[in-house]
Every structure is written in C-alpha cells, then in structure tokens.
Structure 1
C-alpha cells in the first residue's frame, strides 16, 4: 500500500488532478490519497475525487487547512501563497499513518511509487532529492551564510519527500519547522523548503535524482521517475512554452477536467497577466525594505 499526501489549492486544481492521477496509473498496489485542502470548494473536491477513480484507488481523505495558522510566515514572489507551509502539519493530520510520500501538485509521476513507500531510510526521518539549483557560488554562499548549513552541497528540493511520520512526531519536526520559519522570516528565501532543510539537516537520505527531475533536465523520453514543473509558469498556463505539455494534457484528459484548456490571451491581456505575476504583495515590500535597511 502507498500513501501520498498533497497540498491542494484552487489555483493548482488541474495540477492536483494530474499529479495524483499519474501516481495512480503507475502504481502497482493500492494507493491512498490524502489531500490537505487550502481553499477547495465542495465541487472542487468532488471533481478531484472523480478524477482519481482507478481500480487501485484506496481512500481519499480531504483535510481542510486554515492559512491563519501560517499567517506570520514569509511568502515570496515566486510562491506568493503560504499554502506550502501546510506540509509541516502532515504528521498531525495523518496521526494514524506511519509513512507517506509528500508530492507537490506540479508533477507527473512516471514510475511506481511503491519503491519510495518501502525505501530504506537508514534510520533517518526523510528521503529527498538534492536540489538542482544549488551549484552556483551565490547559492552555496546563501546556504552557508544565511541558513548556516554545515553541508550546503546537500540541500534538498521539497517537492518530493518520503516521510517517516513516526520519526517526524518523535523528533517534533512540525513544531521545530514552524519555529524556524517564524524566527528566521527574513532569511528563508525558499520559504518552507529552507526551514525544512535547516530542521532536517543530517536527518535525511539522498534519493536518486530521477525521483524529482525538473522539466528542463528531463529527457524528452523520460519515463522512469518524476517530472517536476519548476518555475512560475505551469503546463496549465496559456503562456507555458516548455516541454512535456502534451503528456500533461493527455493525463488531464483522463480526469474530470477532460477537454479543458487555458484561455490564451493576446496583446494587452497577456502582458497584464505577466505583470500581475511580478507584483509583490505589501507584506513582501515591507520585508524587502526591512532587509535593505538592516544590510545598510
């Protein structure tokens, strides 16, 4: 049996449908889907449930999440929503589950997740893939100076995490991550991912990169592992212009959202959409000014 957990928002509704559908279609055993719902309507939940009706589906459980619980934590221009912090609460919400696989909702699962469900964690609490964007001098300096990581070359991407939930509860990882995220507000450029790397330092096992491969690094015939659509623009956006979009929509067409496509905007409309993505919130502006004043 495989247990997966996602954090689902209305903006990523199609992404959630595809991520779980792809996991179900490639899984050789029963798969249980736990959905931490940030702002899903009853109809959203119904359509997601309809999207995942495969012979190997186990249970689907929706767990409503109040963003007020993470109101004091940082968001960034890349990820304006604070919904990713909801993954901190997985040990609490899945109190009767010993192990799960957390998945972001911008993925295509191409391989059987049973291999991750039974992966040998070697006594550690988690298993993840090393982030592909940390090899620049600037990033290594950030990880050393800001996050104080002893081994900055060992920094994981949090889009796929194998979690020993008993260990997370035993080591109080949830409360530690929340404390780190609040006390280091101005230092966490990668939000929850930075906080988890601090808390889990030396407490995670390295997974094969295939289990969290960015769309830019995956071969066109990629079929063994997980494709991650990193970046602001996702396959369900009208201005997406990278690879794997056909494969992604083929999966969408096997869900309750079959045939739906993004509305393509031209001229002023397209420019406005791009402009909106680049506008920081007032909270972000205040934080930026505070950091500039501090550095000055």
Structure 2
C-alpha cells in the first residue's frame, strides 16, 4: 500500500484564497504516484465564508477533511488540532495563503522517502520582508538560541514534513501554552533542510502586528528557557553595586560641596531607579507565574465543534479534544 501523507492547513478568514490553494496543491500531489494524500483543514473561528468554502471542497474531493473549532483559539492551537487529526505516515503543516509553495511538497517527499524523519523548509531570501521585520526576526533567533538549550533553526517556520514517529512524539507534549516552533525543534529526530524563496502572499494580509510578534517572541523565550530569571539575578547584583557606588559619590560630594536640597539627589535615584528595576523584575516573574497558572488549569488546547467529510457533509456531534 502507498503511504498516506497528511497536509494540515489552519484557516482564519481566508475564504478568497481557498480555491487557489487547492488548485495549486492538487496537481503537485496527484503527480506523486508513490503516495496517497489527504488535506486536513482547520477552520479557526472564521467570521467570513471560509467554512462554507471548505465544506464545498469536501463534497468535491473525498481526500479533504474539515475541522471546525468552536471559536478562534489561535494558530498554534489550530495547528495542534490538525496534527492531532492527521492520519498520515507523514504530516506537512503549511499555510493556506500560498506563501508556503506547494511546489516544495515533492522535494520534501523525496527527502522523506530517502530516510529523513523531518524535512525543514528554510527561507533563503527575506528581502521581501520589511527591514524592521528582517532585523527583529534575526534578533529573535539569535537571542532565543543563546538563552535556550532548544535551538530553533533560523528562518524556518511551521512549513515542514514530519514522519509519523515525530508526530507521535509531538502529541505526547502536554503543554497548553504552545510555541510550535520550539516544540518542533525540541523533539529532534533526523533532519534535512531545503532552502526556498518565499513568494508574496496570494491573498489577504498578515494578522501579526508588532505587538503580536513581540508576544509571540516572549512566548518562545519563557516557554523554553529560565535564563531570563537567572540573568535578572546578575542584573540585580550589578545595579546594587552601581547604586552603592553612586551613593558613595553623593556622600562625598555632599560633604565636600554641600547640597542645596538635602537628600533630594539620593532619594530621587533610589525611588526612580529601584522602582523601575522592581517593576521589570515583577513583570518577568509574572510571565513565568502566568504560564504555571495556565498549565495548572488543564483546559483543552482547542475544542472541535464539528467535523466535515465527503461522507458526512453536515455537522457531526461536538467533540472535546485535547
């Protein structure tokens, strides 16, 4: 029997690009006689007619399945839902906006058939991104990999192929606050990397604002390293030493030259400097405590409202998923 390959695609308000996506994927996968394939689409609480168009795809192609989440849980949760539902011996997460080019699917499958357990798609050219985005991405990868023992490959997103053994290992990771790039890297396994030039988005626009990207990066730092807590201990020690030195300077200056407002300088330094340090350190501690708080709740990562296939085009019973 030919092995089954599952393509997992999260969708959120992307109705205008669905037909183009399937028109691009089908010829590439149909040309592979050595594998059978399915597409697992996850509707992550779309407000347009994304779900309607996805259901239409299931009616015209039995290889398409659709999971409708009960609300918008975010891309990481939607990606988890699709990977959990995938039945293939190989699983390929990708975006539906065609920035993950379907033409790379065949080289990925060749590498997998050659023995690779993970095939990464690495962007060789980010010239189409803004200067700010390129520099912040480079800063994130370098800083994360310095702070964490889990090394995230630079310029590699969610687009990759994973063997079933990798998927099974990934599904054993129970955390609710999920940073998928870090989880993908943490499980390891035999890896091959393919370079590609990322095309422009076929439809729509990115929903990741600067604030969202910052929060995403913070999730990566706090999810895979306790180094920020350790670093803050040294930062506190350095600031304490500097404060003592400056306090000594103020004391000597006051004895020698006097002060027009006695105590003002030292009080100002103490209140503003140490107050800001304490606020930053409390915020850092809060990030980690917040993660503990969310994990202890043990809430499911996502909820599936309905599942749609060619055999069951109407809503099935709601299913509680992990």
> TM-score, with normalisation over the residues of structure 1?
0.52
- Which deviations, in whole Å up to 9, do the C-alpha atoms of 1:103-147 show, x marking residues without a partner? 112215352734433433665542112355789873453132333
- Conservation of the 8 A alpha-carbon contact between 1:8 and 1:35: yes
Offset of residue 67 of structure 1: 5.9
1:87 maps to which of 79, 84, 87: 79
In structure 2, the residue matched to 1:195 is 183
In structure 2, the residue matched to 1:113 is 105
In structure 1, the residue matched to 2:146 is 145
| 2: CA distance, partners of 1:137 / 1:100 | 28
Offset of residue 98 of structure 1: 1.5
Question: In proportion to residue count, which structure has more helix?
Answer: 2
2:4 equivalent to 1:5: no
- Name which one, 1 or 2, has greater alpha-carbon Rg: 2
Cα–Cα, structure 1 residues 114 and 42, in superposed 2: closer, same or farther, change >3 Å? same
2:174 equivalent to 1:174: no
1:160-239 aligned within 5 A? 160-169=159-168, 172-176=169-173, 178-179=174-175, 182=177, 191-197=179-185, 199-201=186-188, 203-207=190-194, 209-210=195-196, 213-214=197-198, 227=199, 229=201, 235-237=203-205
- Which deviations, in whole Å up to 9, do the C-alpha atoms of 1:213-232 show, x marking residues without a partner? 32xxxxxxxxxxxx364xxx
1:116-131 aligned within 5 A? 116-120=108-112, 124-131=116-123
Unaligned ranges ≥5, structure 1: 71-81, 186-190, 215-226, 241-273
Give the length in aligned residue pairs: 208
- Conservation of the 8 A alpha-carbon contact between 1:6 and 1:16: no
Once superposed, what is the RMSD of the aligned Cα atoms? Answer: 4.5
| 2: CA distance, partners of 1:3 / 1:49 | 18
Offset of residue 40 of structure 1: 4.4
Unaligned ranges ≥5, structure 2: 127-133, 223-278, 286-322
Offset of residue 35 of structure 1: 0.8
3-state secondary structure, aligned to 1:106: coil
3-state secondary structure, aligned to 2:50: helix
| 1: CA distance, partners of 2:209 / 2:48 | 27
- Conservation of the 8 A alpha-carbon contact between 1:147 and 1:194: no
Cα–Cα, structure 1 residues 20 and 60, in superposed 2: closer, same or farther, change >3 Å? same
Cα–Cα, structure 1 residues 90 and 122, in superposed 2: closer, same or farther, change >3 Å? farther
| 2: CA distance, partners of 1:42 / 1:280 | 22
| 1: CA distance, partners of 2:64 / 2:138 | 43
| 1: CA distance, partners of 2:172 / 2:118 | 16
In structure 2, the residue matched to 1:32 is 38
In structure 2, the residue matched to 1:19 is 21
In structure 1, the residue matched to 2:243 is none
> TM-score, with normalisation over the residues of structure 2?
0.49
Cα–Cα, structure 1 residues 24 and 291, in superposed 2: closer, same or farther, change >3 Å? farther
Offset of residue 291 of structure 1: 7.2
In structure 1, the residue matched to 2:66 is 62
